[in-house]
Structure 1
Amino acid sequence: MPKTCKNGKRPGSELSQDTIPQKRNRNNKHPVSEVSHSSSCEESKKKPIAALILARGGSKGIPLKNIKMLAGVPLIGWVIRAAKDAEVFDSVWVSTDHDEIGKVAKAWGAQVHKRSAEVSQDCSSSLETIQEFTREHPEFAVICNIQATSPCLHPEHIQEALELMTKQGFESVFAVVRRHHFRWEEVKNRVNACTKPLNLDPARRPCRQKWKGELCENGSFYFATRDLIDKNLLQGGKMVYYEMKPENSVDIDVDIDWPVAEQRVLRYGYFGKDKPEVVKLLLCNVMGCLSDGTISLFANGDDEMSYHYRDQAAINMLKKEGVEVILMSSRDYPIQAALADKLAERLGCLVKQEVDNEMQEVDNKMQEVEKLMKERELEWKDVAYIGNDGADVECLKLAGLSAVPEDALETARIAAKYTCRNAAGHGAVMEFAEHILLLKKKAKSQMEQDRINRNNV
């Protein structure tokens, strides 16, 4: 038998609600429930709206999956970024029982609601967790429950769904995707048992082109008024679905989902407001990024360092795409002038030795970077930055694209927008370069599509 809670709920049924009869509204392509809506929709236009992302630490399928790196970004970071950039919420919250998840959520700009043990069990429902949040934050008239495992969610999905509430008076809006799956009745007793079709006639199997398919919840988000939530509903009242494309409908439950989701998010994910096609400069630490930081000392006083051949190829790739590369040697990890000259000659790029002064290291690095930007008339959105320690934190936060090697310090990892799977000196620079070029290609493709769309209007 399936496991149940004391209240009789089954694990995994967090969002199930009683089905409400639907009818078609002539003026709206979405189905509308027959239940009349209350004045709470009018109130939602006036009172604050919150995004609430549920991220429990006790995931059984993939331990701590909510902060596991997906395409260089913590899984929960994808939806936090989309929610914040939608610019429709008064605040974005993550409800969690795990300190590490809370730490990552704050680093990505969300506020943290520390959920109680009572709603952090395997059998706790999403509704119970949301209700705990609304009791502690009664100022919110509308809650948008965003699923942490939906990394292909975009700001426009959220904006368009919310408009159904604020402009058309719906009380609940939820995301769906169109599926073309033939469903059959489950056979529990195999002895002389036959199955039955649930949504097709086997004698008249429709071809995909002539079958519209079925609308299935994809779990990306659930908008609901506070009034509905207080009545133990996430879907109810005057409700409507918001249909998302299949490529944006990604869910992750078990390990086998991860590589598929990673490929999908690289192609269809939302990478933020910064336009990667304008990146013109890559700044890279020599020690801790290009090199693993190992220094060999010889009797004659010379230093020796090594780097991965793929990282040299990465620098050449970027240069061919018009991206200047500058290597930076910090005062804490200096390299000899002769070695810097040799490195510059071999890699064909400038090696910048930081000026040693009495300023703190972070301020010193910022000063050097901003000086380089000013000389080239660049802004932070034009800069990609790969660093590895505390002195890089501010630059990692400000750069249009930023990354750290797999073995970087935790403070740098949290500040970066991308975490490489490779360690310093072992191909991390190549990995980040490929990421930069992929985003530039994607952005150029989108610009071309936008141009085509404008011309066809």
Structure 2
Amino acid sequence: MRQVVAVIPARGGSKGVSRKNLRRVGGVPLVGRAVAAARAARTVDRVVVSTDDTEIAAVAREWGAEVIRRPAELSGDTASSESALLHALDEMTENGIRVGTLAFLQATSPFIDPRALDDAVRMITRGPYDSVFSAVETYGFVWERDELGARGINHDAAHRPRRQDRDPHFLETGAFYAMDAAGFRAARHRFFGRTGVLAVPERTAIEIDSEEQLQMARAIAPLVRTTALADTDVIDADAVVTDFDGVHTDDTALVDADGNESVRVSRSDGMGVSLLRSAGVPVLVLSTETNPVVGTRARKLRADVRQAVDDKAAALREWAEARGIPLARIAYVGNDVNDLGCLELVGWPVAVPDAHPLVLAAARAVLTRGGGRGAVRELADRVLRARGAVDVRAADAHREATAPTSSFPIDSRAAHERRATS
């Protein structure tokens, strides 16, 4: 039986944006976002990432893709996407995989809608098209320059009809394409036979080729939601790491006349940590502070603690390695710029709602409760919800009633089902 296969070329090198395919938008690596979009499409049978890069391959597998290692001669700046696609088809054919329809996704487009990808595939499988590309409608007046000045390309400069009196043109987004696999093999380029255009919303069409475009994508990520990524109300993580000030506290301190400091914490957060421990989820409190209250609170919670650390990311790596926990399986919640290094490392970067703007931009999930006001408990509930380890509503009711007010061969898709939802 011929399959619909999505192929995502993602080489390690990039001139415009260093390590572009691993950069994050909405807390998720770009290659991970592309894999998630393809896996969420109902028409796609398998998802393959073609790469020359070990780190990209690892991230692709974490998100549930199969990996084809691309040779160096097809991975340079001058190598075409078509060459990577043809190589992937050859590798799959050699492994007995019959590809009927090829979907080509580019990781540099972070907001691919799986439903739009499904529409493109159906335009191939149900006819009448041989190749399809995503585009946005435009009524813009396009010009070109030459030695004599500027001249209109898609319009007569002497006659400027109203928008409602014009037919739109279509601007290729570069986000995704769908093709009949046999036709692509014969043509060796992505536009052949009868070519169809699938119009997509402009808000989903941003393509990242510069640092400025990356920052734009990060800024609008909270506003552009698709069905590709898992619901952030459920956080599938194997460990929880928290900052202290601004997470366990409201980021304020009371100072008495002798200079002694005290902070306010939430009993609800304590219950959350207790529930995590009961479910076998390790908890680490990580802080740059030297205040004894950090260690005292962590010991009361019976959580691991690392404090007075200058490099929080290095401390997090060391702790995770010692416990044998992949960074991709850790949820980290922070509030300020000294948390950014940790947020970039983990699979679930989380922010409190009043966090620094850069932290909010780096987060995959933003909590609704503030630091010192149940933020840790909310994170715990989301993690436990994913594990099915506790009836969160029952635990909430009990707390309210009792607490005082204070590479090839291709991997199987099923093996990655749980991990990819994270």
What TM-score comes out, normalization by structure 1 length?
0.59
Secondary structure of the corresponding residue to residue 173 of structure 2: strand
Are the aligned partners of 1:78 and 1:151 in contact in 2 as well (CA < 8 Å)?
yes
Superposed CA deviations along residues 100-128 of structure 1, whole A, max 9, x for unmatched, are 21122112111111111221121111111
Structure 1 pair 280–334 and aligned structure 2 pair: CA distance change class (3 A) = closer
1:164 CA displacement: 1.6
1:273 CA displacement: 5.6
| d(CA) in 2 for partners of 1:113, 1:202 | 50
The code of the aligned residue for 2:320 comes to D
| d(CA) in 2 for partners of 1:48, 1:100 | 28
Q: Which residue of 1 aligns with 2:203?
A: 247
Structure 1 pair 429–389 and aligned structure 2 pair: CA distance change class (3 A) = farther
1:326 and 2:272 are equivalent in the alignment:
yes
Q: Which residue of 2 aligns with 1:161?
A: 120
| d(CA) in 2 for partners of 1:179, 1:310 | 49
Secondary structure of the corresponding residue to residue 141 of structure 1: strand
| d(CA) in 2 for partners of 1:123, 1:194 | 32
Structure 1 pair 245–432 and aligned structure 2 pair: CA distance change class (3 A) = closer
Superposed CA deviations along residues 129-151 of structure 1, whole A, max 9, x for unmatched, are 11111111122222111011111
1:435 and 2:366 are equivalent in the alignment:
yes
| d(CA) in 2 for partners of 1:389, 1:116 | 33
Q: Which one of 373, 389, 404 corresponds to residue 320 of structure 2?
A: 389
The code of the aligned residue for 1:236 comes to F
1:353 and 2:302 are equivalent in the alignment:
yes
Q: Which residue of 1 aligns with 2:132?
A: 173
Q: Which one of 55, 61, 64 corresponds to residue 100 of structure 1?
A: 55
* Unaligned runs of at least 5 residues, structure 2: 253-265, 305-318, 370-377, 379-422
* Unaligned runs of at least 5 residues, structure 1: 1-45, 292-306, 345-350, 356-387, 441-457
Are the aligned partners of 2:219 and 2:361 in contact in 1 as well (CA < 8 Å)?
no
1:47 and 2:2 are equivalent in the alignment:
yes
1:95 CA displacement: 0.9
Are the aligned partners of 2:270 and 2:301 in contact in 1 as well (CA < 8 Å)?
no
1:144 and 2:103 are equivalent in the alignment:
yes
| d(CA) in 1 for partners of 2:217, 2:357 | 25
1:85 CA displacement: 1.4
1:265 and 2:221 are equivalent in the alignment:
yes
1:265 CA displacement: 2.4
Are the aligned partners of 1:172 and 1:237 in contact in 2 as well (CA < 8 Å)?
yes
Structure 1 pair 256–429 and aligned structure 2 pair: CA distance change class (3 A) = closer
Secondary structure of the corresponding residue to residue 158 of structure 2: helix
| d(CA) in 1 for partners of 2:303, 2:201 | 49
> What RMSD over aligned residues (CA atoms) do the two structures have, in Å?
4.5
1:110 and 2:65 are equivalent in the alignment:
yes
Are the aligned partners of 1:95 and 1:113 in contact in 2 as well (CA < 8 Å)?
yes
The structure with higher relative contact order (CA 8 Å, sep 6+) is: 2
Structure 1 pair 392–243 and aligned structure 2 pair: CA distance change class (3 A) = farther
Secondary structure of the corresponding residue to residue 14 of structure 2: coil
Are the aligned partners of 2:242 and 2:333 in contact in 1 as well (CA < 8 Å)?
no
| d(CA) in 2 for partners of 1:323, 1:270 | 31
1:57 and 2:12 are equivalent in the alignment:
yes
| d(CA) in 1 for partners of 2:229, 2:217 | 22
Identity %: 24
Q: Which one of 182, 206, 212 corresponds to residue 256 of structure 1?
A: 212
Structure 1 pair 393–420 and aligned structure 2 pair: CA distance change class (3 A) = farther
| d(CA) in 2 for partners of 1:124, 1:280 | 38
Q: Which residue of 2 aligns with 1:119?
A: 74
| d(CA) in 2 for partners of 1:260, 1:426 | 13
Q: Which residue of 1 aligns with 2:243?
A: 290
Are the aligned partners of 2:8 and 2:106 in contact in 1 as well (CA < 8 Å)?
yes
With 257-266 and 240-249 compared, the bigger mean Cα shift is at 257-266
Secondary structure of the corresponding residue to residue 77 of structure 2: coil
| d(CA) in 1 for partners of 2:15, 2:207 | 15
The code of the aligned residue for 1:435 comes to V
Aligned counterparts, 1:385-424, within 5 A: 389=320, 391=323, 393=325, 397=329, 405-408=339-342, 413=345, 416-418=347-349
Structure 1 pair 437–339 and aligned structure 2 pair: CA distance change class (3 A) = closer
Secondary structure of the corresponding residue to residue 141 of structure 2: coil
Are the aligned partners of 1:73 and 1:419 in contact in 2 as well (CA < 8 Å)?
no
| d(CA) in 2 for partners of 1:273, 1:323 | 27
Are the aligned partners of 2:40 and 2:227 in contact in 1 as well (CA < 8 Å)?
no
1:194 CA displacement: 3.1
| d(CA) in 2 for partners of 1:106, 1:271 | 20
| d(CA) in 2 for partners of 1:310, 1:154 | 37
| d(CA) in 2 for partners of 1:155, 1:396 | 23
Q: Which residue of 2 aligns with 1:203?
A: 158
Structure 1 pair 209–203 and aligned structure 2 pair: CA distance change class (3 A) = same
1:239 CA displacement: 2.7
Structure 1 pair 353–141 and aligned structure 2 pair: CA distance change class (3 A) = same
Q: Which one of 16, 22, 31 corresponds to residue 67 of structure 1?
A: 22
The code of the aligned residue for 1:264 comes to I
The code of the aligned residue for 2:243 comes to L
| d(CA) in 2 for partners of 1:53, 1:279 | 27
What TM-score comes out, normalization by structure 2 length?
0.63
Structure 1 pair 112–420 and aligned structure 2 pair: CA distance change class (3 A) = farther
1:331 CA displacement: 8.3
| d(CA) in 2 for partners of 1:332, 1:195 | 62
Secondary structure of the corresponding residue to residue 165 of structure 1: helix
